[in-house]
Amino acid sequence: MRDNLNMGIRTTVELPEELHSSLKELAQETGTTMRAVVIEALESKRAARRTKAGQGKPVKTGFVTGPPIVVKGPLGPLFPTDENPYDLIFP
């Protein structure tokens, strides 16, 4: 578990009563805070997703992974393929 839990962003999450009770009991059983239990669970989930990604399985990251525009047909003359871009800007 992380040592420095003081730095962070305050956020609000609405939990079902049953889950809140379970979270509170777990924190009491482990002698820690509910906040620490939630942080540990989130870090564990994130680490599991990264491990799954290392095994070649797709993982939703929320980041753009491909080109935003798919080009069909030949590229135009302003799209250099083997030219130095500086030659086009500074002739």
Would residue 6 count as lying in a domain? no
- Backbone dihedral region of 14: left (phi > 0), alpha (psi from -120 to 50 degrees) or beta? beta
3-state SS, residue 88 = helix
Q: How far is CA 54 from CA 46, 47, 48, 59, 87, in A?
A: 13, 11, 10, 10, 40
The pLDDT assigned to 46 comes to 84
Question: How many structural domains does the chain have?
Answer: 1
The pLDDT assigned to 45 comes to 86
Q: Tens digit of pLDDT for each residue in 39-66?
A: 999 888 888 877 766 665 555 666 666 6
Would residue 9 count as lying in a domain? no
Would residue 79 count as lying in a domain? yes
Alpha-carbon distance of 18 to 2, in angstroms, equals 26
Helix segments in 4-91, DSSP class H = 17-30, 34-54, 85-89
Would residue 8 count as lying in a domain? no
Would residue 10 count as lying in a domain? no
More confident residue, 31 or 50: 31
Would residue 12 count as lying in a domain? no
Would residue 40 count as lying in a domain? yes
Mean pLDDT score, 1-23:
79
The pLDDT assigned to 13 comes to 87
Domain that holds residue 60: 17-89
The pLDDT assigned to 18 comes to 93
Would residue 41 count as lying in a domain? yes
